[in-house]
């Protein structure tokens, strides 16, 4: 726990602030933020039910969860719907498990058929988004054309396909689907997001793994021309510097257009380029402002560890009496990002705050981001009952 900083949480139900009633009963909050691949953000909350005074929570109730430090600001974790409740004793506890998607079954069962000459943005909207038909696409992806989609597939499988095709990450939250470039460093609205700089003092523990990525120098994809003939080949070359290989990765399936082939070759090459480097770490100071898809630069430790990474899984754990703990894992990030940071620090040792954020020992990134947004989303239509009036003694 950072010196002088006291971790807190904020819990809203249907727009109603229940934090004050919640604090005495909450023993732990675990928030998991996941980047794409069909995984959902989730929160697991354990409550002390020592005297059976907590009104029974209900599946499908909605929770808005924030973690924070007093005097710094609020980091909004997300809006979640309860999908599992576990009662246990001893000790007497209630564990509430929630995810950001309101209906995971819809992702598996909603069917997508016979789509012709539509954009990536149009397809989810026209087939009927089971999570509310609110689609947010990054501009670099939204206008890409898919000439033909005639396979009988689920909505979730379609989203996964778009991730692979455009090297993107889909976030499926309650009522919204967003798609952003994996390592673009920008929001779905194309606002640039700062890169976090991590030093040796940033970590409680750290592990960086270097593995063979197959060392492919190029990815090629064939496509069908306007006459339906197989045409070789749209190619994308590796961006890894000093690569000692001429191996070529050939995509087996024929794409329906030159544009699709080019996009898939570029996406596949990007995935291969970053697949050899992995990072896993626990921060010295729990930091709820660290999110999935966050780009980080590790600097000033040693060759092999220093470099850029993109986080694909982040876990924030709040335990009563123990403070806040943040762990994460990720892949090698944007090739050249670490060099960009090194160039930015060669003149006077300063970094541009709009591009790279660095904090000192005992600090969290919320202190460098400026005033935090403390207004949670508006009231929802659900009527949650997680912490209600005490149950009268029988």
- Render pLDDT for 239-295 as a digit per residue (tens, 0 to 9): 777 777 788 999 988 988 888 899 899 889 888 888 778 999 999 999 999 999 899
Range of the domain at 234: 216-274
Q: Domain check: are 223 and 203 in the same one?
A: no
Q: What does the pLDDT read at residue 384?
A: 36
Q: What does the pLDDT read at residue 85?
A: 95
Residue 67 in any domain: the answer is no
Q: What does the pLDDT read at residue 3?
A: 57
Q: What does the pLDDT read at residue 92?
A: 92
Q: How many domains does the chain have?
A: 3
Residue 352 in any domain: the answer is yes
Count the Cβ atoms, other than its own, within 10 Å of residue 353. 12
Q: What does the pLDDT read at residue 107?
A: 61
Residue 153 in any domain: the answer is yes
Q: Domain check: are 122 and 262 in the same one?
A: no
Q: Domain check: are 109 and 241 in the same one?
A: no
Which of 241, 245, 313 has the alpha carbon at shortest distance from 280?
313
Q: Domain check: are 115 and 173 in the same one?
A: yes
Three-state DSSP class for 311?
strand
DSSP string, 154-196: EHHHHHHHHHHHHTEEEEEETTEEEEEETT--B-TT--B-PEE
Q: What does the pLDDT read at residue 109?
A: 59
Q: Domain check: are 266 and 131 in the same one?
A: no
Neighbouring residues of 217: CB distance < 8 A, sequence distance ≥ 6: 237, 238, 243, 245, 246, 247, 248
Q: Domain check: are 154 and 301 in the same one?
A: no
Which of 213, 214, 212 has the alpha carbon at shortest distance from 247?
214
Residue 49 in any domain: the answer is no
Q: In whole angstroms, give the CA distance from residue 172 to residue 104.
A: 10
pLDDT-flagged residues of the chain (< 70): 1-4, 101-114, 126-133, 148-153, 174-175, 189-190, 213-214, 346-354, 370-394
């Amino acid at each position: 726990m950072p010196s002088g900083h006291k971790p807190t949480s904020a819990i809203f139900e249907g727009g109603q602030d229940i934090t004050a009633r919640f604090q005495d009963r909450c023993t732990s909050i675990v928030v998991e933020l996941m980047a794409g691949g069909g995984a959902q953000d989730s929160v697991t909350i354990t409550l002390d039910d020592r005297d059976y005074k907590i009104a029974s929570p209900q599946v499908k109730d909605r929770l808005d969860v924030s973690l924070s430090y007093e005097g710094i600001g609020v980091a909004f974790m997300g809006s979640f719907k309860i999908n599992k409740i576990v009662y246990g004793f001893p000790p007497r506890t209630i564990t509430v498990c929630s995810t950001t998607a309101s209906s995971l079954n819809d992702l598996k069962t909603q069917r997508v058929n016979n789509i012709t000459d539509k954009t990536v943005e149009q397809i989810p909207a026209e087939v009927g988004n089971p999570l509310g038909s609110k689609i947010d696409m990054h501009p670099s992806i939204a206008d890409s054309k898919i000439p033909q989609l005639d396979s009988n597939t689920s909505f979730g499988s379609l989203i996964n396909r778009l991730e692979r095709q455009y090297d993107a990450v889909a976030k499926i939250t309650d009522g919204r689907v967003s798609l952003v470039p994996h390592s673009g460093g920008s929001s779905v609205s194309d606002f640039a997001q700062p890169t976090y700089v991590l030093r040796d003092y940033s970590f409680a523990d750290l592990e960086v793994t270097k593995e063979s990525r197959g060392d492919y120098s190029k990815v090629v994809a064939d496509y069908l021309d306007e006459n339906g003939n197989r045409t070789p080949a749209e190619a994308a070359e590796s961006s890894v510097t000093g690569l000692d290989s001429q191996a070529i990765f050939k995509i087996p399936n024929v794409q329906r257009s030159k544009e699709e082939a080019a996009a898939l070759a570029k996406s596949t090459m990007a995935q291969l380029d970053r697949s050899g480097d992995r990072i896993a770490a626990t921060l010295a100071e729990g930091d709820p402002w660290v999110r999935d898809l966050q780009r980080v630069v590790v600097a000033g430790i040693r060759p092999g560890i220093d470099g850029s990474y993109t986080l694909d899984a982040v876990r924030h754990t709040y335990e009563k009496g123990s403070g806040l703990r943040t762990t994460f894992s990720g892949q090698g990030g944007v090739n050249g990002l670490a060099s960009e940071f090194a160039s930015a620090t060669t003149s006077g040792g300063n970094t541009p705050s709009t591009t790279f954020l660095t904090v000192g020992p005992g600090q969290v990134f919320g202190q460098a981001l400026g005033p935090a947004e403390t207004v949670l989303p508006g009231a929802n239509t659900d009527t949650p009952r997680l912490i209600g009036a005490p149950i009268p003694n029988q």
